Structure 1
């Protein structure tokens, strides 16, 4: 029976797989946003951006790129801000009709 041995090559493969997953989440979010299936004011959009940026950031551990890390860090901060600082929509005023 073989023991689980996570080599550097395996770790690099896993990091790159996270990068591909992040790309897929970014592409899905953009597609849904473009087709009206997702609203950029809803928290779901920010959660998708946060997940995508986090996955791509993980992939940068294998192949670091400062510019890409700064962009992903910016997206993470903006997504967290969008989630935390999101204003609740005001309810529509109730009209009372009297007869």
Structure 2
């Protein structure tokens, strides 16, 4: 007997992709409403998580162009986070002197 809703591997991956989409939309909405600053680590961390989730979601229905976009967002968000962490560290060091 089959269940009413059958879950397959692609369903799980699609859920990851949908969660990534939701994070992208939520992040853009918070930016638009000025609840988050475009220069904040939180903004880039959310973008990084969203891209990672969408990339996982692409494993069930791979699309090279979309995968490349997600990889770009992951790399650019990681660089943006590192730049901001380094700036915070330098500011903190300067305040100690």
TM-score after normalising by structure 1 = 0.79
TM-aligned CA deviation for residue 43 of structure 1: 0.4
Matched, 1:73 2:96: no
Which structure dedicates a bigger proportion of its chain to helix?
2
Give SS of 1:40's match: coil
Instruction: Work out which of the residue numbers 30, 51, 54 in structure 2 matches 1:53.
Output: 51
Give SS of 1:85's match: helix
TM-score after normalising by structure 2 = 0.80
- Structure of higher CA gyration radius: 1
Moved over 2 A (4+): 87-91
Distance 1:77 1:64 in 2: 19
Unaligned runs of 5+ in 1: 1-8, 92-99
Give SS of 1:26's match: helix
Paired residue for 1:18?
Answer: 16
Paired residue for 1:44?
Answer: 42
Give SS of 2:8's match: helix
Paired residue for 1:29?
Answer: 27
Distance 2:69 2:33 in 1: 25
